[in-house]
Structure 1
C-alpha cells in the first residue's frame, strides 16, 4: 500500500500558508494513500483537545474526511503537541502510535519516531522532556483556564527559541551513538524520524548491514512536503 508520512509542520493557530498547504497535502493523500502517518509537531502548540479542536477546525475536518474515505490515519505526538488526546482521536478517527515503534513500510520493517528522545547530548532538553511527559502534571495543566494555558505555552515557546539559539547546533541533533543503539535494539535497517529540522538521508554500516536514517523535512512557506513509500518500497517526496 501507499504510505504518506510527514512531521514538523508547526501549524500556527492563526491563518497561514502552512495551514493551507497541509489541507492540500491531505487532499492529495486522500486520493493516493492507504495509510497516513503523522510523526509529531504537526501543531505548533496543542494545549488541550478542548481548545485545539476548535482552533484547528479545518484541519480536524480534513483529517476526519481522510479516515472517512478509508485511509488508516496514525500519529505520534511531538514535543509541541504532546497533549493530543482521546477527543482528538474521536474527532479525526486517528490512532496513536507509541514512540518509537516498528512499522512495515514497502515490505520493510522501519523504526519510526518523532526523534527528540534521541537528542541525548542536549541534557537540558531531556530533563524538560521527562518533566512534560508526567501524566499528573499534564492533568493539572489541562485543568487550568484556557487563557492561563495559552499564556504558559506562549512563554515556553519563547524560552525554547532563546535556549535553542544559544546552544551549539551539534547537541540539538540526534546523538550518533544513541541512533546506533536504536538500530541495534530494534533490529531494523531503516529509521524515519523528524524533530531536528535537518532533512537528509544518512547511510552507514551497522552490525554488517547497510542502514539508512531518513530525517523528514520541517515545513516552511518555501518547502512543504512529506514522504511517500509505495508497496515496492519506492520513496518519493509529497509536496503540498
Structure 2
C-alpha cells in the first residue's frame, strides 16, 4: 500500500488546548479560512481542544466555533486530525476530515522519499496509563458518565473545566532525552526515518541512531506552529509564531 504524502508547505499544530479561556487557535483558523495563512494540508497533532469528547455532548459547547471552522476548512484543504488525550472519539464530529484514532498512530507518510511517522505522543506510557486511556474511551463508561453529568447539571464537565484552567502547558521536562529513549525503545528500526510527536510540549529535536525524533512545541505556548519545508538542508520543519 502506498504511503500518504506529507505535502510541502503543510502545517503541523500540536496541543493548542483551545478553550473559551484560550482562543488564539480560533483566530488561527480564521486566518486559514481568509487565506491570510495558506497551506495545502493541515495536520492536527492532538489535544487541539482542551475538552472535546465525542460521546459527551456537553463538551461541545466549549468548542462549537472551532468545530464549525474545521469542518468548513475540511472542504477547502486536506485536514488530518490525530486524536489526543484531551480530544477523542471525534469521527462523527468531523465527517470531512481524516481522523486518526490513538490505536492507529503513528501514521507513516512519505516526504521526498523519507518515511515520516506522526503521532500525538501519549504511547508506550506504561500499563497504568494504558488502562486509564482505555477506560476513558469505553462506550459504556462514557454513557454512564454522560447520564450522571446530565442528572447533576453538568458538574463533571464543570469540574474538568476548573482542572484544565489550572494546568500549566509550558514547563520543561527534566531528562527528556533519556525518558524519550526509554519510552521509544520498542520503536521498530526502519519503520520511519523521522518520528514527530506532540503531547510533551518540549519543542525539541533528538537524533537517535535509528531515526530522528521531533517533539513539536505546543501552540498553547507562544502560539507555535510548524511548516514542512524542503529536506535538502536537512531541516524538515520550520517553526513559526502566529502572534
Question: TM class, shorter-chain normalised?
Answer: 0.7 to 0.9
3-state SS, counterpart of residue 213 of structure 1: strand
Q: 1:135 to 1:103 in 2, by over 3 A?
A: farther
Cα distance in 2 for partners of 1:149, 1:213 equals 44
Give 2:83's match in structure 1, choosing from 61, 77, 82: 77
Q: 1:236 corresponds to which residue?
A: 238
Cα distance in 1 for partners of 2:176, 2:166 equals 13
3-state SS, counterpart of residue 202 of structure 1: strand
Alignment partner of 1:18 is 2:24 = yes
Q: 2:182 corresponds to which residue?
A: 177
TM-score normalised by structure 1 residue count:
0.75
For this pair of structures, how many residues does the alignment match? Answer: 225
Q: 2:129 corresponds to which residue?
A: 125
Answer yes or no: is the 8 Å Cα contact 2:52–2:60 preserved in 1. Answer: no
Q: 1:107 to 1:153 in 2, by over 3 A?
A: farther
Q: 1:96 to 1:27 in 2, by over 3 A?
A: same
Cα distance in 1 for partners of 2:226, 2:25 equals 18
3-state SS, counterpart of residue 52 of structure 2: coil
Q: 1:8 corresponds to which residue?
A: 15
Alignment partner of 1:200 is 2:204 = yes
Shift of 1:134: 2.5
User: Aligned-pair RMSD on alpha carbons?
Assistant: 3.6
3-state SS, counterpart of residue 68 of structure 1: coil
Shift of 1:175: 4.1
Answer yes or no: is the 8 Å Cα contact 1:107–1:232 preserved in 2. Answer: no
Cα distance in 1 for partners of 2:107, 2:35 equals 22
Give 5+ residue unaligned stretches, structure 2.
Answer: 1-6
More helix by share: 1
Cα distance in 1 for partners of 2:209, 2:139 equals 38
Q: 2:222 corresponds to which residue?
A: 223
TM-score normalised by structure 2 residue count:
0.74
Cα distance in 2 for partners of 1:179, 1:55 equals 34
* Greater Cα offset, 55-64 or 25-34: 25-34
* Greater Cα offset, 29-38 or 145-154: 145-154
Answer yes or no: is the 8 Å Cα contact 1:8–1:40 preserved in 2. Answer: yes
